[in-house]
Structure 1
Amino acid sequence: MKYKYAIVIVSAFMMMLGFGYTHAQENTPQYVVALTSFFIDPQYFKDEMTQLGYIEGENIRYMTFSFVDLGENAMPEDFMNEYNRQLQIMIESDVDVFVTNTDTDAVFLKATVGDTPIVFARSDDPVATGAVADLITPGGTITGIVTNRPHERRLQILKEIKPSTDKVYYLYSPMTLEAETVLGQVQVVATQLDVQLIPVPTPDAATAIDAMKNMPEGVDWIFLTPFVPFDFAFFAEMQTTAIANGIGIAGVIDDPSPMYLMGYGPNIESTDRQSARIVARILRGASPADLPVEIAENYLTINLEMAQTINLEIPLGVLRQANRIMRPGDFDNLPTFNPNNNTDS
């Protein structure tokens, strides 16, 4: 199971390719923190740690994964092998705290790192995954941040955007430990809204692409949850399907994407910084067992460019709720991810 799961998280690490990640410096400062999974760049985390008095190269050293040497033709198995190799180096490096992207990552990591503290930056239900015993008193070596049930509210917002919504294509990863729990929570809301939820497990890119090609008629939205496969062919197929059918894609975080008509959930920068503050408390002597799981704030992003593309008008009431509105042309000024770029971005 450990190696099957590694394939899933390696797909997420592929997005780091080309961002010039480097390993920690050779000198040995007082603390060592292993950043095992971050979206694109852990700089938000590092910046927050700096503000808290932890200066890289002076009193703290970071270890991160680096896949730039694998090249653009590397296969998922290559990333898995490199991930396992570098993780073993981290384990053998007397790390003070491990930081993961999710609670699922933390649970799998726990089996390998023993009693070393682990902080997860995002989670939907860490009690359901077994990451913590209780949100107030985690009771073990793991703590972190829980999202404020964004998937249920996201479905409600979709109904507000398009009141005629009655069928939602719900893509989820069965490899995420709380997937079934979250699905059940969203299903309750769907029933209340008189919306048919069509759950589609997507354990790999091939399954996800097939799901797009065989999407049933009458779907109003494509609803993403953590973590659908990170695969460019799948993304292209999903965008093509959405535009061809005049339907919107609803993302799991608020970070803007040209593909998504809306995104609702935690903000990556905010939760990275929040997790840094938890790590700082642990380095100062606090025990993860006694640090309550913190709640992440949810944010709403609306993409008017995609709404225009599929000819969907966004109600003014929804726009007033949005924390960020992307208008036609705004994406032209944002940096884009290029997997074949092997330099710093």
Structure 2
Amino acid sequence: MIRSILGALVLMALSLTGLQADDKKVVAITQIVEHPALDAVHQGVKDELAEQGYKEGENLTVLFESAQGNSAIASQIARKFVGESPDVIVAIATPSAQTVAAAAREIPVVFSAVTDPVAARLVESLDRPGANITGVTDMLPLEDHINMMLRIVPEAKRIGTVYNPGEANAVALVDQLETRLADRDMELVKAAATKTSEVLGAARSLVGKVDAIYLTTDNTVISAVEAVISVGERASIPVFAADTATVSRGAVAALGFDYYDVGRQTGAVVAKILRGEAPADIPVETVEKLSLAVNIAAADRMGITIPNAVIEEADEVLRETR
């Protein structure tokens, strides 16, 4: 009798253990490179999942790999994650999203910080993504960015940019920016950098050719943005950015998203899938909230003054000196 009871208890314990194991979710996160904006997305995803009841170390296992800016490594990571069969793969930034989408045919994929998921061939459309992938796009409000620059340097006619021509996200933005500037009788001067070690040389090539430098969310460039900042300071060329985190690194101003909030929004999409929704049925989400950040000391180092009206409107004002 006692043996029967003990046997039943053992079976019950094993059953409960198995149930808990089945209930534990696995989310794999990959990002193309580590820099403040993408790191903020990563943290936001995990924080949102925790708030929705998926807590790392309890009922959630999080796998993470960074490609360190190398597309070949990104492909290796994608294949590795597919082999581990997580419940969802989160791909941060366009290059990582493209490699994961190519490797993961059955596993749900959620991308984040992807500027143009349609042009990157990740989804069929924003409303109907199709297949096993959806996510959050950070398409930039380029008209607002041009207006921001002109409020601070109204005489600017030639805008320089450094970008990686091998990154679909960057190419799409640069093409749109060139068209929008041309509509205002302004010129875009482009400088290519296929890797971070080329960013400084590309920035130097703009000296004497441009009135200001504008940087998109190009991951290659943002990873080495201090190189561009140093050129702007030495040549008295104001540097503007699409990523507000770049302002604390020395840019004059940026009008952009809080990428931590982008991560939280992405985490909410992941939670929907963990609860059983199909990625194909979840429209790609956009980010609408913008914040303006300015750096008064950086402007002084680059030889300009930010108008008081712009400073008063800013959500974040940095006055640091180095």
* TM-score normalised by structure 1 residue count: 0.76
Task: Give matches, 1:209-228, under 5 Å.
Answer: 209-228=200-219
- CA 1:185–1:86 in structure 2 vs 1: closer, same or farther (change >3 Å)? closer
Q: 2:222 & 2:231 partners in 1: Cα distance?
A: 15
- CA 1:279–1:154 in structure 2 vs 1: closer, same or farther (change >3 Å)? same
Q: 1:103 & 1:211 partners in 2: Cα distance?
A: 22
Q: Which has the larger radius of gyration?
A: 2
Q: Post-superposition shift, 1:264? A: 2.2
The Cα offsets for residues 40-99 of structure 1, whole Å up to 9 and x where unpaired, read as 3633322211111111122211001279xxxxxxx988x965x66655442222211111
Aligned residues with identical type, % of pairs:
26
Q: 2:81 & 2:214 partners in 1: Cα distance?
A: 36
Task: Give matches, 1:171-250, under 5 Å.
Answer: 171-229=162-220, 235-250=225-240
Aligned partners of 1:151 and 1:265 also within 8 Å: no
Q: Which amino acid aligns with 1:181?
A: A
**Higher deviation after alignment, 129-138 or 272-281:** 129-138
Could you say which residue in structure 1 is the equivalent of 2:262?
271
Q: Post-superposition shift, 1:210? A: 2.1
Could you say which residue in structure 2 is the equivalent of 1:57?
57
Could you say which residue in structure 2 is the equivalent of 1:33?
27
Q: 1:309 aligns with which of 298, 301, 313?
A: 301
SS of equivalent to 2:168: coil
Q: 2:177 & 2:305 partners in 1: Cα distance?
A: 25
Q: 1:244 & 1:211 partners in 2: Cα distance?
A: 15
Structure 1: gaps (5+ residues): 1-26, 68-74, 333-345
**Higher deviation after alignment, 310-319 or 108-117:** 310-319
Could you say which residue in structure 2 is the equivalent of 1:295?
286
Q: 1:167 & 1:141 partners in 2: Cα distance?
A: 43
The Cα offsets for residues 225-244 of structure 1, whole Å up to 9 and x where unpaired, read as 23252688x54542221111
Aligned partners of 2:173 and 2:216 also within 8 Å: no
Could you say which residue in structure 2 is the equivalent of 1:139?
130
The number of residues matched between the two structures is 294
The Cα offsets for residues 262-283 of structure 1, whole Å up to 9 and x where unpaired, read as 1222211100111000000111
Aligned partners of 2:78 and 2:103 also within 8 Å: no
Instruction: Tell me the C-alpha RMSD between the 2 structures.
Output: 2.7
Q: Post-superposition shift, 1:164? A: 0.4
Aligned partners of 2:158 and 2:186 also within 8 Å: yes
**Higher deviation after alignment, 243-252 or 213-222:** 213-222
SS of equivalent to 1:65: strand
Q: 2:304 & 2:93 partners in 1: Cα distance?
A: 33
Could you say which residue in structure 1 is the equivalent of 2:14?
none
Q: Post-superposition shift, 1:311? A: 3.1
Could you say which residue in structure 2 is the equivalent of 1:129?
120
SS of equivalent to 2:240: strand
* TM-score normalised by structure 2 residue count: 0.82
Aligned partners of 1:103 and 1:131 also within 8 Å: no
